[in-house]
Amino acid sequence: MKPFNPLLALLTIALLGGGCASTAPPPGGEWVEVLDGTTRVTCHGADLEGPMGPRLARSDVYVSPDGSRRAWVEVEARALIDGDDGGTCQNISRLYVSGASGTAVAFTQRPGWEGRNGNALEIVDWSPDGNQLMIELFTWTYPTDPASPLVLVWDATTGQTHQIDARVAMQARLTEGCAFELRGRGFTDSGMPLLAVSSPTDNPCAGSPGHVIARENGLTIEPLTGTPPAHRARREPPGSATPVR
C-alpha cells in the first residue's frame, strides 16, 4: 500500500519509549482548557465563545479487539497574536499508539497543508486483527468550518498511514452532478476498509449504496450487502492512558 503522499511532508513518526505519552503544555504556561472530543478544537473552546488561549482536546482511548494496542488522539490549538485581527489559531493533531514495544506518535498533522491552519483527528475503529486503525482527518482555515474529512488508515505492520480515497470510483457509479460524502465506518469482517455514503436531500444521489467496501485504497469499490459490523474497539475515557511529561 502506498503511504498518504499529500501529507508526507507533514507526517511525523517519533518513538517515545516505554509507557504512555501526551502533548506537553504550551511554553510558559498551562492549557486554558482540556476538552474531551477532538472534532472541532479552537483557541476559543468548543462553543467558539470562550477566552482566547491554548487548548488541548483528547479523544477516548480505543483498545484493539485483542487488547494488544491502544490508540488515542490529542489536538492542540495554539493562539497566535496578530495586530490586524486580534489573533488566530493553529492546530497540531497527533495520533498515539501504544503496544508491546512502547508508545509512539504514529501520525502528526501540522498546520499549513493547502494553507489550512486548523485540523483535527478522530478515530473510527480498529480492524478485526488489530493491525490497522481507521481515522478521519478534518482540516479548515480559521474561522471557517471543517471540510469533509479524509479517511486514513494507519498500518501497524509498516508504521505508515495511507488515504482511502474512493471519490472517483464513487462518482463513476452515481448520477453526474449529484452530491455525496464518504465517511469512515471501520472494517469488514475480512479486514477491508468500509465507508459510509450519504448525500444531501436537495441533491441526492439516486441508487446510492449506504456503505461501500474500498479496495486498492479506494480505486475500486463494491456495495456492502447486509448490515455493517458493529464497532470492534473497546473505548476507555480520555486520559486513561497516563501521560508522561
Write down the pLDDT at residue 178. Answer: 87
Cis peptide before 143 (omega within 30 of 0): yes
Confidence class for position 13, pLDDT limits 50, 70, 90? very low
Confidence of residue 5 (pLDDT cuts 50, 70, 90): very low
Q: Which three cell numbers stand for residue 228?
A: 455493517
153 pLDDT more than 60: yes
Residue 8 has pLDDT above 50, yes or no: no
Of all residues in the chain, the percent with pLDDT exceeding 70 is 82
pLDDT bin (cut points 50, 70, 90) of residue 12 is very low
Across the range 221-239, mean pLDDT stands at 93
pTM of structure: 0.85
Please compute the mean of the pLDDT values over residues 24-39 and round it to a whole number: 76
Give the whole-angstrom CA distance, residue 159 versus residue 86: 40
- pLDDT per residue over 54-92, tens digit each? 889 999 999 999 999 999 999 999 887 654 445 678 999
Across 2-11, 35-44, 73-82, 119-128, least confident range: 2-11
